[in-house]
Amino acid sequence: MKGLNDHIRIAGGKPLEGTISIQGSKNAALPMMAASLLHRGVSVLKGCPRIADVLCMEEILQRLGAVTWWEGHDLYMDCTDADKTEIPAAFTGKMRSSVVLLGAMLSRSGRGYLGYPGGCVIGKRPIDLHLMVLRSLGAEIEERPQGIAASCKRFQGAEVTFPKRSVGATQQGILAAVLARGETELLNCACEPEVKWLCVYLRSMGAVIRGEGTSRILITGIESLGAGNMQVPPDRIVAGTYICAAAITRGKIVLENHPEGELDAFLEVYRKMGGQYQGKSGKLIVDGTGIKNPVAFLETEVYPGFPTDLQSPLMAVLATIPGKSRIREQIFEDRYKAAEELVRMGAHIRIEGRDALIEGGYPLRGCRVYARELRGGAALILAALAAEGTTCVEGYSFIRRGYEHICQDLGISGVEGTEIYESIQLP
């Protein structure tokens, strides 16, 4: 996923101000797109973000035989004839969430082949829990050197306990169980809002699901599902990133279409740092002018704890606050790629195993830095906003995977509108 113009230049040093409307959620939209395969007809996702990962998933659906089109930000998916069952690694290698298509393909067609999934390089990211839940519901799965071949006439409901909470594996289990024979009980499920939104979407299609948002989800399998039609909820990680942008520039912003109630752990930290916020008439007014307190210790956790996806953006903010902060990354083992780039810009950050030790308050200076993954890349953009001089962030395509208008939203001029997404050329 690279283009000719894979960098952006950012002139820093100005407090952020203005009103930003939050895009639809990437992590909610992707599994909903997979769920749309379960209806033999047209489903629509309204307010769907037009970001590279969504376009990649759209291309995969087309590859399976779906006809898709956009009307503004509404994505229509006609899955009447989406009966192909093979997704080559050229697609799956680009995006980890493609793995949830396996359960959907098996539910629909009884078999499926999937190249191994890719995605951001932030740790090992195995798929054992995905395969475990599918096997528990009756799939025969063969792990080949290049990919996974699976078959299952019809899933059979069962009780399945996840040994570890996983957002994707929980979604996989749900997608498999909605059309299974009988009842499924999923235990130790992920409670992230994106699991809940998938269930809300599936329920709009007729699925019988209870308990989403808790660790115990009960599903009664039915024979078929109707058309899906839903507004994609606002992206809580994009909202959190922009609140960090206000914090790092000590600016003030207003967020429209913000994800109410989904950012509590993050906002609590923001408040302790000296930030203020207030919900008013459906908007969130964010004031970062008083940001001044370091964070002695913070751990990333499963929902409702502090989200791992906001760890790098927060680290950039902490680099600008005098005093010592410590972050412990508990979800992914290799999610500090942004740290060494921030150090290049003048930040004082030391990584010790799962901990990042930040000695904040040293001035950040613009230079050339490299985004290596989505959220770490966003953190570099934030640091650039606060730095003296101009920063060139290479690897903009990583950031475009998840942020539709980050330059426009953060008042960065120059590159917005550059078409970075390249469709996949198969032999």
**Residue in 226, 114, 215, 214 with CA at minimum distance from that of residue 179:** 226
Residue 190 interacts with ligand UD1 (CB under 6 A)? Answer: yes
Taking the complex as a whole, how short is the minimal distance between the CB of residue 270 and ligand UD1, in angstroms? 19
Distances (CA, A) of 174 to 130, 195, 256, 389: 11, 9, 31, 49
Name the closest residue to ligand UD1 (Cβ). 168
Task: Name the residue nearer to ligand UD1 (CB basis): 291 or 421.
Answer: 421
Task: Name the residue nearer to ligand UD1 (CB basis): 238 or 345.
Answer: 238
Residue 130 interacts with ligand UD1 (CB under 6 A)? Answer: yes
Catalytic residue (one of 56, 120, 199, 407): 120
Among 46, 73, 125, 405, contact with ligand UD1 (rule: CB under 6 A): 125
Report the alpha-carbon distance of residue 375 to residue 250 in Å, rounded: 20
Taking the complex as a whole, how short is the minimal distance between the CB of residue 155 and ligand UD1, in angstroms? 18
Asked if 374 and 398 count as a contact pair (C-beta separation under 8 A), the reply is yes
Q: Which residue has the tokens 């195995």?
A: 126
Taking the complex as a whole, how short is the minimal distance between the CB of residue 223 and ligand UD1, in angstroms? 29
Task: Name the residue nearer to ligand UD1 (CB basis): 124 or 280.
Answer: 124
Among 103, 138, 147, 168, contact with ligand UD1 (rule: CB under 6 A): 168
Task: Name the residue nearer to ligand UD1 (CB basis): 227 or 351.
Answer: 351
Residues with Cβ within 8 Å of residue 268, at least 6 apart in sequence:
none
Residues of this chain, 298-317, that bind ligand UD1 according to CB under 6 A: 308-309
Report the alpha-carbon distance of residue 182 to residue 263 in Å, rounded: 36
SS3 14: coil
Among 129, 347, 383, 385, contact with ligand UD1 (rule: CB under 6 A): 129
Residues of this chain, 204-243, that bind ligand UD1 according to CB under 6 A: none
Known catalytic residue at 407? no
Taking the complex as a whole, how short is the minimal distance between the CB of residue 149 and ligand UD1, in angstroms? 18
Task: Name the residue nearer to ligand UD1 (CB basis): 309 or 404.
Answer: 309
**Residue in 135, 204, 194 with CA at minimum distance from that of residue 165:** 194
Residue 27 interacts with ligand UD1 (CB under 6 A)? Answer: yes
Q: What tokens were used for 242? A: 């922009």
* Stretch of 41-49, 125-133, 240-248, 353-361 contacting ligand UD1, by CB under 6 A: 125-133
- Give φ, ψ of 393 to 5 degrees: -95, 110
DSSP conformational letter for 108: H
Residues with Cβ within 8 Å of residue 191, at least 6 apart in sequence:
165, 213, 214, 215, 302, 303, 304
Residue 123 interacts with ligand UD1 (CB under 6 A)? Answer: yes
In terms of DSSP H, where are the helices of 143-281? 167-177, 193-204, 236-248, 264-272
Could you list the active site residues? 120
Contact residues toward ligand UD1 (CB under 6 A) are 27, 30, 96-97, 123-130, 164, 166-169, 190, 192, 194, 308-309, 331-332
